[in-house]
Structure 1
Amino acid sequence: MSAIRRLHRTPLALTLAIVAAGAHAAGEETATLDPVVVTGTRAKDRTTLDSVAPVDVLTAQDLRSAGAVNGELGAALATLLPSFNFPRQSNSGGSDHVRAAQLRGLSPDQVLVLINGKRVHTSALVNTDTKIGRGTTPVDFNAIPISAIQRIEVLRDGAGAQYGSDAIAGVINIILDDAPEGGEVSATYGAHHTDFKPTGRTLTDGQSGYAAAKFGSRLGEAGFVRAGVEVNEHAATNRAGYDQIPFFENQAPANLALAGRRNYAAGDPKSESYSAWFNGELPLSDAARLYAFGTFTARHSVGDNYFRYPDGSANVPSIYPDGYRPESLGSNRDWQSAFGAKGRLGEWNYDASLDLGRNAFDYSLRRSLNASLGESSPTRFFSAGYRSGQTVGNLDLTREVGLGGRVFTFAAGAEARHENFRTVAGDPASYAVGPVEGAPVGAQAGANLTPQDIADLSREVYGAYAGLSGDLGERLFTEAAARWDHYDDFGGKFTGKLGARYEFAPGFAVRAAVSNNLRAPALAQIGFESTSIGYGNDGRLLQGRILSVRHPVARALGAQELQPETSRNVSLGLTARLGDDFTATLDFFRIDVDDRITLSETIDSAGLEQYVFERFGLRGVQSVAFFTNAVDTRTRGAELVVNYRTALAGGTLALTAAASYNDTTLRRIKPTPAALTELGAGDVLIGVEERNTLTSAAPRQRLSLAARWDVSSWSLSGRLTRQGSTTRVFDFGDGFQPRQTYGAGWQLDAEAEYRVSERLALAVGGNNLTDRYPDRSIADISYFGNFPYDVISPIGVNGAYYYARARYTF
């Protein structure tokens, strides 16, 4: 009831009343509004309304009509799922190249991603410069080819007892296309076209080209192989304003001459990617078959960084007489594959598999320099390499058992997982200390990895689970699951889940679930270290280090061994079905997370540099940060989904309405260690910026109203989305902590597709057709006019986007 009372104190209460008349369009692959799901349950033939926890199902048609820029899966999910947030980044180091996503407002690494039910590895890159997801190594959604997908099932509930670590916020299961014959070729081209008020210009940029092809072939009578490729390119966007020249820069004539120019860049990075995938099965007999699938993506991207002024310590005028703006280069290679056998052996159904995942990310810089090397400095550097891998062996067993005269589904299984993470140092010039005194050391705008930063960690994880589900009566369905996981670096953890659904009247049911879950600290969070030379929040150049919790300096400053995050999840929901054409679900939830892992604020107190030098002999360490279990949080919320379909004008009209609300509060904050207090540090484990990230930087409310009308030759769709407000807080030191809340806004998307023939379809569409922008940033946040809009708003800073698509099936 507390969740309901909180809900009525928000504007969403009115929204929910309006949404009750709305409705989710079924895709072309689904025949009803209540499709069968396989995620979050071992029972057969459970549908979205029959499940004990909310599950969203998105079809290939849904993804296609989302109009995702540049074929980005993450952007499509953010358009279609109100509980999913996929913020864009700019001037954020590696986060410009690998974007992090949120489910239910929680951390990007608190959602488990599966492909065909198998665990997906995370990115190797550690996001240290982003706002949302700082310090995480999330799954790279954009490394999964969008054309490979048959459907996606999103379980919005804790599922650690069923799947293991990371499933605190939920599970996203991506199911690959398994059509045994035929194929498809498609191409999309689009661009942003916008009136950019801060400069008074009409801009056309961000041109995007996307092409995909796939085909299928039968293997024998019941087998198949399906494969495809994708290519996409995306030009950069720039929404920087006119530079007013920061007051702390040298007010020399060479610098002041640049006032009123666009010296900075802010927007999407330039990128190009190439992907391939396959999915197949080969029957061995009527009771056994082999299967295999895999995805591969190579992506190259170019990110932006802060401008370096011509008359300043970070410049060598003979190399860059007019100053320079470094560009980061990301080279990302991602591979996921699995093979196994499944079938029936006696009374048991079995699935035995081996799952392999690898990610390699290389970070480089161009148009940069190491000012301490003077005129001998190169302008291009390899700064860091990140590598991660995951190997998983699974055995899953299910069978039907009779208990008390009723038939239940019993499931059991075991898993062995090997994880590894390592980093590669940059080239010597990227971190060299040159002869020029007073000049900053190292490649500008780089989180440079030096030989002292290198990490190489691995661990073994073993788990076993069991579950039982079935009907206890004609109206009551129950599920129970328990799991034990053992990590060789911190020991074992038990998780469990209970769920039930009771149909109290024909077509109406109440459902509930309770669970405890865990997320093990990532190897990167345990062992990652880096050395950076760049700008702090106040715009001043800093040299700093991120230290592992096992580093002697971090230990002396109060760092402790990381413990797993643990959660307690409770959900309560109502479902309704009126005939074949109307369904509705309303679910309330609460998620308490203990020992949440975050990267500390930057610790740069006045006595730090001297303390580190005197005690450890390390020179020039002006700031440090390390990972910590510093906070307990509570997230409460509600989610509503309503679906309606009816005949209209010779076709079918499907209406969709979905709304979400989540609110995160801080239940406990670990006190500042005594060693840091003695150095004059304040709330540096969880300061005002990280509190803002956890509680208000992402939208708490989101509403989507959509309609799709299909007739013989036409499909018309539209979507109106209300993005909730977001808040940005900076801590510039000395008590200066500017804050701004960016108001909620509406976004309109639409598409029209015309089927020229049975095989050829042409479409035109647009996202953000009204060319909406978030509120303008105040002077204290816009960084002297250079960044007039903040990237944390889900509306984004790019304005309207228009596209055209051609699709040919055979």
Structure 2
Amino acid sequence: MTRAFFTLIFTLSCVISFAQSLKVTGKVTDEKGEPLIGASVIEKGTNNGTTTDGGGNYALTVGFNNATLVVTYVGYNKIEREINGAGTQDFALTDATVLNQVTVVGSRNLNRSSADTPAPVDVIDIREVTTKQGQLDVNQLLQFAAPSFNSNRQTGSDGADHVDPASLRGLGPDQTLVLINGKRRHQSALVNLFGSRGRGNTGTDLNAIPAAAIERIEILRDGAAAQYGSDAIAGVINIVLKESVNQLTANVNAGIFKAKYRYDDKKYDGLNYNVNLNYGVKIAKKGFVNVTADYNFRDHTNRANTVDSEADLARRQFGDPKINNTAIYYNAKIPLGSNFQVYSFGGLNERSGDAYAWTRFPDDDRNIPSIYPNGFDPIITSKIKDRAVTVGVRGIWKSWDIDLSNTYGLNKFHFGVKNSLNRSFGALSQTSFDAGGFQLGQNVTNLNVTRFYKSVLQGLNLAFGAEYRTERYKIFAGERASYYNYDPTYPGGSQGFPGYSPADVTDNDRSNVGAYVDVEADITKKFLVDAALRFENYSDFGSTLNGKLGLRYKLTDALAIRGSASTGFRAPSLAQKYFNSTFTNFVNGQAVEVLLANNNSAVTKALGIPQLKQETSQNASLGITFTPASRLSVTVDGYYVKVKDRVVLTGQFSDDDEEIGDLLKALRVGKAQFFTNALSYTTTKGLDVIIAHSAPVGVGRLSTTLAANFNWMDLGPVNTSPKLAGKEDIYFDERERRFVLASAPPSKINLTFDYSVDKFSLMLRLIRFGEIKLANWDYEIDVYKPKMQTDLTLNYKVTKNFSISVGGSNILNVYPDKSLPALTESGGGWDPVQMGSNGAFFFTRLGFRF
């Protein structure tokens, strides 16, 4: 029924009349009249566009006589022109002298657009997206804008409550490489231990980058380790910062959730608001500094009251954490003479959060009634500091484009616990604790050299370069009362989140050197070949050599096929190698102390757990791009990713185990788990489909997009050590298998209608999330059936300087299917699946531009 509904609506939108269309032809040249091959010509506000041929000529059918054409070519200044009914439009672009655009990911050819790369690339205009949807942070913006991207808010997940894990194509957060302006971004110091997203993975904290500072986001949906380095197994996300000058933009956003499950009579909670400013200043004739200031507040939601019987209630507070997020970001370029420029970008982000931990009820043996006669709900606090800065020089020397840069990034988590106690200390226990934390620093020195040979074949691009990267990971201890046990007859440490002890403290580093060569050639005007080779050497994992071959063949002017095959590599993060902690887990509602031991601990050695080794991958993709009409485009891309020796969290070994039981009892923990290459392999097969159509309807324009991701994952045999032979069901049990399989819903379908008339626009979006299956603490399967979310936004441009948007996300207040709170990982009625568990969100946005 749902499939038929999507098909019917989309088909109806595609049969709209083309009566108002106009064919425009012309030529794009430089100032000297030389043709610019591969220049991009796009009808503004649509997906309708083309590129110039070998003579600089183009032909494009536009929807309106007064359409605006946008013409761009890397290294030249952009031109926007309203055609006013004229069918011939020639453009002469002026030389920008110093290159001022970031290469689109997927190709190192500076003359290549995202429309004709050998691998699928999504280009998301952040201004367009933020105007028409209520999400305020980058993770949630992409969750509902890109079907292959998945990120869910989590609760009861310790540090992951404060950083939303994100992934591409159902793989791990640490298997996606993130770039800022084409430069490698540092990862978060956090390793995710709970929840159904990113379990056992580290990832990049996208929410540290304010959406207001971003011009566009490019998502390369293809393995790219040979092009950009390790971590790019699933793909690459490149965030391009704003470069605008002499324009002040400001936005005020506010929204609130409609509360469906609460003890009290509150109908709304989870207030969100955001204020941001962006302004750019010219430096000399062609330089600039663009600065963004952003503040985002998110209040608690509470969705704990999901059951009829209090006996089934696991927590009294369950929902979004409270977050205060402040960021300042900049992007700058300063010309040096006529052919070189110095550039720099980066920013500061500080975030503080309060997240709900599990409830300790009045009669709980972890409560002290004289302190909390009604029991207590511990609050895990966080102070997250994120720093990043890139400085580089770029220019043209004898037709070579040379780019030398250095990037430093630091991410630091500092945890606290309040509304808590140390049960082993007794009635005089303090109620707030400094619990310690961890940090990750990264420094990258990068050199890229590129040259385009116009006269070789039909155009050949040669690129090569090198990179040197260092990383350092630290764990620092909390105050003594946060981790110490003063009376062994009671559990010690701060309830809700035991602090890091001196035994957990670590300080480790490593280095990596890499070199690559990339050749991209238009063999003929129809046939493109791209080949890349990359060597990397890690100080702790040795050397690897990876390659990629990509092809694109234009069968007709309307139809092209593209494909690629590559190998990849990902070294386990320093956090996966060295993280060590004791935490409290709740199994069937009962508190259990769990040791997560690193590879060098006595526990792992007793079990014969091997040292972590690198993951390797094999990627293949095949797709088509089809433009049967000037305003209709279709792309279909199938993919296959096999990851060998996948790093995961093991299941939990109990203190009755014959090998380590006595050791665990001596450490006063009930269970232990580890990071290990438990899976011999995983295979992920999938399909991305994007159909975009734009047509005049009445006095306005209707743009319709159907974007879908279908994803299937299989898990290979379990790798165990000789001492653990026969214990495969513990080493990697059914719960852990289900968490890996649930990294993404098996399908996510996004159907968007965007209708605009003069100053008014309306966006209707329907998103269908596929079925998710997880194993609960009783090892029964919790099934979260397919769900559909409906979003609606109205935008009105009051004046050229002021606009207002009102709307809602999930306006029909749809929730995932309920599960029993005492048996879920989160302790709430839902694990973090599909659209989330907060319900309908209604918002208003005011936009100013001067």
The normalised TM-score by structure 2 is 0.87
1:562 equivalent to 2:608? Answer: no
Q: 1:500 touches 1:511 (CA, 8 Å); kept in 2? A: yes
Match of 1:251 in 2: none
Alignment of 1:181-192 (within 5 A): 181-192=246-257
- CA deviation string 1:155-192 (max 9, x = no partner): 00000011101001100000000112211011011101
Q: CA deviation at 1:805?
A: 0.9
Q: Which amino acid aligns with 2:330?
A: F
Aligned 1:190-339 pairs, distance under 5 A: 190-196=255-261, 203-241=267-305, 264-339=316-391
- Measured in 2, the distance between the counterparts of 1:157 and 1:13 equals 30
Cα deviation, 1:717-776, whole Å, max 9, x if unaligned, reads 11111111111212x3xxx41212111111111111111111011111110011111112
Aligned residue number for residue 510 of structure 2 = 459
Q: Output the CA distance in 2 between the equivalents of 1:669 and 1:314.
A: 37
What does residue 87 of structure 2 align with?
none
Q: Tell me whether 1:691 sits opposite 2:755 in the alignment.
A: no
Deviations 1:498-527 (A, max 9, x none): 000011122101101000011111001111
- Quick check: 420-429 or 773-782, which moved more? 773-782
Q: Sort the Cα spacing of 1:287 and 1:105 in 2 relative to 1 into closer, same or farther, 3 A.
A: same
What is the CA distance between 1:65 and its match in structure 2?
3.4
Distance 1:551 1:745 in 2: 44
CA 1:236–1:322: 2 relative to 1, 3 Å:
same
CA distance in 2, matches of 1:514, 1:351: 28
Distance 1:638 1:648, change over 3 A: same
- Is there any run of 5+ residues in structure 1 with no aligned partner, and where? 1-9, 246-257
Q: Which of 788, 807, 817 is the aligned partner of 1:775? A: 817
- Compared with structure 1, are the counterparts of its residues 365 and 66 closer, same or farther at alpha carbon in structure 2 (3 Å cutoff)? farther
Secondary structure of the residue aligned to 2:622 is strand
The equivalent residue for 2:231 is 166
CA contact (8 A) 1:66 1:79 kept: no
1:779 is displaced (CA, Å) by 7.5
- The answer for the alignment partner of 2:588 in structure 1 is 538
Give the 3-state SS of the residue equivalent to 1:429 in structure 2. helix
DSSP 3-state at the match of 2:288 = strand
Q: CA deviation at 1:262?
A: 9.3
Residue 76 of structure 2 corresponds to which residue in structure 1?
none
Matches within 5 A, 1:696-735: 696=742, 698-730=744-776, 732=777
Match of residue 787 from structure 1:
828
Task: Report if aligned partners of 2:684, 2:711 keep a CA contact under 8 Å in 1.
Answer: yes
- Aligned to 2:730, what secondary structure does the other structure show? coil
2:729 is the alignment partner of 1:664 = no
What letter corresponds to residue 314 of structure 1 in structure 2? Answer: R
Match of 2:636 among 580, 586, 610: 586
* Amino acid of the structure 2 residue aligned with 1:389: G
Partner SS for 1:446: coil
Whole-angstrom CA distance in 2 between matches of 1:439 and 1:528: 26
Please give the alpha-carbon distance, in whole angstroms, between the structure 2 residues aligned to 1:491 and 1:302: 41
Instruction: Kindly indicate whether structure 1 or structure 2 has the higher relative contact order, using CA contacts under 8 Å at least 6 residues apart.
Output: 1
Equivalent residues of 2:314, 2:821 under 8 A apart: no
The 3-state SS of whatever aligns with 1:505 is coil
Q: 1:388 to 1:279 in 2, by over 3 A?
A: same
CA contact (8 A) 1:765 1:804 kept: yes
Matched, 1:75 2:140: yes
Classify 1:225/1:209 alpha carbon distance in 2 versus 1 (closer, same or farther; 3 Å): same
Aligned partner (choices 527, 543, 548) of residue 578 of structure 2: 527
Most deviating of 765-774 and 648-657: 648-657
Q: Does 1:348 align with 2:390?
A: no
Please report how far the alpha carbon of residue 648 of structure 1 lies from its aligned counterpart in structure 2 after TM superposition: 2.4
Q: Which amino acid aligns with 1:660?
A: N
Match of 1:803 in 2: 843
CA 1:262–1:134 in 2, change beyond 3 Å: closer, same or farther? closer
Tell me the residue number matched to 2:478: 426
Q: 2-side partners of 1:51 and 1:126: how far apart?
A: 34
User: Which of 104, 111, 126 is the aligned partner of 1:60?
Assistant: 126
8 Å Cα contact 1:34-1:48 kept in structure 2: no
Query: Match of 2:828, as an amino acid?
Result: F
Q: Distance in 1 between matches of 2:307 and 2:315?
A: 6
Cα distance between partner residues in 1 of 2:775 and 2:208: 31
Rounded Cα–Cα distance in structure 2 between residues aligned with 1:662 and 1:16? 20
Which residue of 1 is the match for residue 167 of structure 2? 102
**C-alpha separation between the residues in 2 aligned to 1:526 and 1:518?**
16
Unaligned runs of 5+ in 2: 15-41, 52-71, 73-102
State the AA in 1 paired with 2:410.
Answer: R
Partner secondary structure for residue 448 of structure 1: coil
Please state whether the residue corresponding to 1:64 is helix, strand or coil: helix
- Indicate the SS of the match to 2:799: coil
**1:622 is the counterpart of 2:662:** no
Counterpart of 2:544 (choices 493, 513, 529) is 493
**Offset at residue 32 of structure 1 (A):** 4.0
Distance 1:447 1:106, change over 3 A: farther
- 1:409 matched to 2:465: no
Number of residue pairs aligned between Structure 1 and Structure 2: 772
Q: Secondary structure at the match of 1:376?
A: coil
Answer whether contact 2:260 2:303 (CA < 8 A) is retained: no
1:354 corresponds to which letter in structure 2?
N
Q: Say which SS state the counterpart of residue 360 (structure 2) adopts.
A: coil
Asked whether the equivalents of residues 738 and 780 of structure 1 are also in contact (C-alpha less than 8 Å), the reply is: no
Could you say what secondary structure the match of 1:727 adopts? strand
Matched residues in 2 for 1:243 and 1:451: separation?
41
Which amino acid in 2 is paired with 1:81? A
The alpha-carbon deviation at position 241 of structure 1 amounts to 1.4
- Once residues 607 and 659 of structure 1 are traced to their aligned partners in structure 2, the CA distance between those partners, rounded to angstroms, is 46
Partners of 1:296 and 1:334 within 8 A in 2: yes
Letter in 2 for 1:630: A
Q: Partner letter of residue 109 of structure 2?
A: A
Deviation string 1:234-269 (CA, Å, 9 cap, x unpaired) is 110000016788xxxxxxxxxxxx869995111111
Matched residues in 2 for 1:694 and 1:263: separation? Answer: 26
Matched, 1:644 2:693: yes
Distance 1:21 1:143, change over 3 A: farther
* SS of aligned partner of 1:422: strand
Q: What's the RMSD between the two structures over aligned residues?
A: 2.5
CA deviations 1:282-305 (Å, max 9, x no partner) are 011111011111122111111111
Q: Distance in 2 between matches of 1:14 and 1:184?
A: 39
- CA distance in 1 between counterparts of 2:203 and 2:614 reads 16
**Taking every aligned residue pair, what percent have the same amino acid on both sides?**
33
The CA deviation string for residues 94-134 of structure 1, in whole angstroms up to 9 with x for no partner, is 11111101110111111000110001111112211232211
1:441 is aligned, of 492, 501, 520, to 492
**Alpha-carbon distance in structure 1 between the residues aligned to 2:555 and 2:746:** 32
Following superposition, the deviation at residue 15 of structure 1 comes to: 6.5
2:807 paired residue among 765, 768, 781: 765
Q: Please say if residues 314 and 828 of structure 2, whose CA atoms lie closer than 8 Å, have aligned partners that are also in contact.
A: no
**For residues 425-463 of structure 1, what are the alpha-carbon distances to aligned partners after superposition, in whole Å with 9 as ceiling and x for unaligned?**
11100111113x521111112153110111111111000
Correspondence 1:473 to 2:473: no
Displacement after TM superposition at 1:711 (Å): 2.5
Which range is displaced more, 128-137 or 107-116?
128-137
Deviation track 1:315-370 (CA, whole Å, cap 9, x = no partner) reads: 11111111111010011111121010101111311010001111111111101111
Hey, what's the Cα distance between the residues in 1 that align with 2:272 and 2:822?
A: 34
Contact conserved, 1:608 with 1:622, CA < 8 A, in 2? no
Task: Tell me how far apart the structure 2 counterparts of residues 133 and 697 of structure 1 sit (CA, whole Å).
Answer: 7
Distance in 1, Cα, partners of 2:713 & 2:11: 25
Post-superposition offset of 1:627: 0.8
How far apart in 1 are the matches of 2:160 and 2:463? 40
C-alpha contact 2:449 2:464 (8 A) present in aligned 1 = yes
Which residue is 2:219 aligned to?
A: 154
Mapped to 1, the partners of 2:452 and 2:43 lie a distance apart of 32
Question: Which deviations, in whole Å up to 9, do the C-alpha atoms of 1:554-609 show, x marking residues without a partner?
Answer: 12212111111111000000101234311110000000000111111121151369
Which residue of structure 2 lines up, in the alignment, with residue 39 of structure 1?
A: 105
